[in-house]
Amino acid sequence: MVKNGYMKIKDHTLTKHTILEKYLKACERFQNKYSNFCYIDTHGGSGLVNYKDEIRSGSPIIAAKIHPYPCHVIEIDPMRYSCLEESTKKYSHITVYHGDCNQKIDDILHQIPSWKFIFCFIDPDKLIYHGKSSSCLQLTYETVEKVAQHPKTEILLNFPLEALIRCGHLVKKHPEDARTPKIIEGMDSFFGTPDWIKEKADKKKYLNFYIKNRLESFYSHIGAICIRGKTRAPLYYLVYASNHPVGGKIMRHIMKQEWGHEPIGNIDDEFPIERFIFEPYSTVKS
């Protein structure tokens, strides 16, 4: 997991961090004008990360370097948290929290005035965190809902596609498996409803279900990009949600840049800012 104390990352994480950094740099213009920006990182990791033996900035450091707005960063794993504490010491505007983001989020949100604008990076790498003495869900829908209920929020969410499909297939194909009840409980909590089980265990089906039945309740502008691994297999969607058309245009442009291996005709027709999904199997006009 770690080398020199820091999390080891792969190419797909660099893509994720690039999207995050580009968007936060765009947000800096609004922070400079309104001085109302606040950053939350629910799965902050080790702060610094290891990419091919090169120590680089992870998401909390990326955010902190852009502007000294308040940054609230949570990490549950003790080893990662120790590294996070150490790597963020020189940034006085970062506050770190050790524990389960599903439990810590209330305390953080209560500290932030309603006039503040919150950008929340929600980055679970799987469904369940397994610690030495206990395990817990990395993310519940209730946590996403609490963030969304704040008057002014945007989210960038790692939708853990690979884990969801694997669990969905197991539940449907092996209902007698001893692991099935626990998996169903976890999936119910992630989706915030048991109705996910009616859907086919498919990448687009699960994403559409989450957007239509969960995020659309709070956000008018929703987009996503499919992030793939070394074998080009889909690993997760990076999902953006906002109520601001300007933010939607900015994020759509950023995701298009990262996805741009296929031609796009009229981007407003193919990928309207209210709903833009960049994935390798999209049908687009040349």
Residue spans per domain, the chain: 2-278
Residue with tokens 């950053």: 39
Q: Which region among 13-27, 155-169, 259-273 has the lowest average model confidence (pLDDT)? A: 259-273
Task: Give the pLDDT confidence score for residue 262 in this predicted structure.
Answer: 62
Confidence of residue 285 (pLDDT cuts 50, 70, 90): very low
Instruction: Taking residues 199-225, report their average pLDDT.
Output: 96
Q: Which residues of 30-64 are buried (b: 16+ CB within 10 A; e: fewer)?
A: ebeeeeebbbbbbbbbbbbbbbeeeebbbbbbbbb
Can you tell me the distance from the alpha carbon of 98 to that of 76, in angstroms, rounded to the nearest whole number? 5
Cβ atoms 37, 67 nearer than 8 A: yes
Decide which of 147 and 268 is more confident.
Answer: 147
How many percent of the chain have pLDDT more than 90? 84
pLDDT beyond 90 at 47: yes
Task: Give the pLDDT confidence score for residue 281 in this predicted structure.
Answer: 57
Decide which of 264 and 216 is more confident.
Answer: 216
pLDDT in tens, 97-118: 999 999 999 999 999 999 999 9
Residue 280: count of CB within 10 angstroms of its CB: 12
Task: Give the pLDDT confidence score for residue 173 in this predicted structure.
Answer: 92
Instruction: Taking residues 29-49, report their average pLDDT.
Output: 97
Report the helix count and the strand count for the chain, using DSSP H and E.
Answer: 10, 14
Q: What are phi and psi of 201, to 5 degrees?
A: -75, 80
Confidence of residue 35 (pLDDT cuts 50, 70, 90): very high
Give pTM, 2 decimals: 0.94
Render 75-138 in DSSP notation, one character per residue: E--HHHHHHHHHHTTT-TTEEEEES-HHHHHHHHHHHS-TTSEEEEEE--SSSEEE-SS-EEES
Q: What are phi and psi of 107, to 5 degrees?
A: -60, -40
From 277, 241, 235, select the one nearest 259 (Cα to Cα): 277
pLDDT in tens, 134-165: 889 999 999 999 999 999 999 999 999 999 99
Decide which of 241 and 127 is more confident.
Answer: 241
pLDDT beyond 50 at 2: no
pLDDT in tens, 162-188: 999 999 999 999 999 999 999 999 999
Q: What angle do CA 124, 142, 277 make, to 5 degrees?
A: 55
Residues 6 or more apart whose CB falls under 8 angstroms from that of 170 comprise 177, 179, 180, 183
pLDDT in tens, 217-231: 999 999 999 998 888
In terms of phi and psi (left: phi > 0; alpha: psi -120 to 50; beta: otherwise), the region of 61 is alpha
The type of residue at 48 is: L
Cβ atoms 23, 62 nearer than 8 A: no
Per DSSP, the three-state class of 234 is strand
Confidence of residue 68 (pLDDT cuts 50, 70, 90): very high
Q: What are phi and psi of 177, to 5 degrees?
A: -60, 140
Task: Give the pLDDT confidence score for residue 263 in this predicted structure.
Answer: 62
Structure tokens at 45: 């990791």
Task: Give the pLDDT confidence score for residue 261 in this predicted structure.
Answer: 62
Task: Give the pLDDT confidence score for residue 271 in this predicted structure.
Answer: 92
Q: Kindly report the average pLDDT of the chain as a whole number.
A: 93
Cβ atoms 150, 112 nearer than 8 A: yes
Kindly tell me the sign of the dihedral angle through the C-alpha atoms of 141, 201, 273, 213: negative
Instruction: Taking residues 78-91, report their average pLDDT.
Output: 96
Topology given in CATH for the domain delimited by 2-278: Rossmann fold (3.40.50)
Task: Give the pLDDT confidence score for residue 270 in this predicted structure.
Answer: 85
Task: Give the pLDDT confidence score for residue 267 in this predicted structure.
Answer: 86
Per DSSP, the three-state class of 203 is helix
